[in-house]
Amino acid sequence: MPLEIILFFVFAIIAAVSAILMITRSNPVFSALFLILNFAALAGLYLLLNAQFIAVTQVIVYAGAIMVLFLFVIMLLKPEHEKLFSIHPKIKIFAVVIAALVFLQLIYLIFLSKPSSSENPAVAASVKAGTIEEIGRELYTNYILPFEAAGYLLLAATIGALVLAKKKFE
Amino acid sequence: MIIPIEYYLILSAFMFVSGVTGVLIRRNAIIVFMSIELMLNSANLTLVAFSSYLGNSIGQLFVFFVMTVAAAEAAVGLAIIIAMFRNKLTMNIDEINILKW
């Protein structure tokens, strides 16, 4: 078996299992750590897909910055007992059934549309789509306006977070 | 590309459905937020898979923008959770209902 397939299955199983563990742990810190594991496995999958820039960004931005923010907020807020959050078991079963139905629908659609039939091996083999050079060229020429807008979005989010979380002085 | 693109799409669908289940069955606001991040990441995986298989880098640019929006959303959302916690001393989203009439 080629190494690529083995690596794909290792990363995919890590991602799927950590996603399930993330939504079932009662301690939010464990949930956050499993989500970080999931993001790391996704970074590995991005490397398998030749998307080096996105893989590095995934580790730095998601697993680094965003999850540290989550862990800080979990640390700052008083840990409450999970019993306070319990919901009716019937609602849980209903939610899982709905999710399973949606999953089956998606699987059906994926196999119905057969995306791999339109795949061109020559295009995929000659591709340099994931390199920083290629992404940077697109980002600073054709997509310069969305790039600037993303900068303003981050500025607005920073100011908004400061205003919302500021302690009120009366 | 030895791996068929369907495998990536199935993994992405599975992660998206886990995120939906997490939003539906958990009442802790922070875990609901993390489930939303999981759903965003499953969409990212689909975008990168198609971008790589079609030999087009625009999909990865969109992943870049999705990451930007996710960072902004996490910052503002966590600030809202902190503000709510300061007012009501709870993270249970069933008790945060001041906008309900």
ipTM score over 0.95, yes or no: no
Binning chain A into helix, strand and coil, the percentages to the nearest 5 are: 80, 0, 20
Domain boundaries, chain A: 3-130, 131-170
Is residue B78 within 8 A of residue A74, CB to CB? The reply is: no
Of A84, A138, A161, the CB nearest to B61: A138
Of B16, B33, B79, the CB nearest to A164: B79
Element (H, E) at A138: helix A132-140
Chain B residues whose CB is inside 8 A of the A16 CB are 11, 14-15, 18
Task: State the residue for tokens 């902004």.
Answer: B72
C-alpha–C-alpha distance, residues A101 and A99, integer Å? 5
Burial class (CB in 10 A: 0-12, 13-18, 19+), A41: buried
> What's this model's pTM, rounded to 2 decimal places?
0.90
How far is B55 from chain A, CA to nearest CA, in Å?
5
Chain A residues whose CB is inside 8 A of the B67 CB are 57-58, 61-62
Residue of chain A with shortest Cα separation from B80: A164
Domain A3-130 has what CATH class? Answer: mainly alpha
**Between 1.10.10.10, 1.20.58.710, 1.10.287.3510, 1.10.3720.10, what CATH number should domain B5-88 receive?**
1.10.287.3510
Q: pLDDT by residue (tens digit) across A109-150?
A: 998 988 777 766 666 555 666 788 888 888 899 999 999 999
Q: Is B40 on the interface with A (CB under 8 A)?
A: no
How confident is the prediction along chain B (101 residues), in pLDDT tens digits per residue? 678 889 999 999 999 999 999 999 988 889 999 999 999 999 999 999 988 888 888 889 999 999 999 999 999 999 988 888 888 887 888 888 878 77
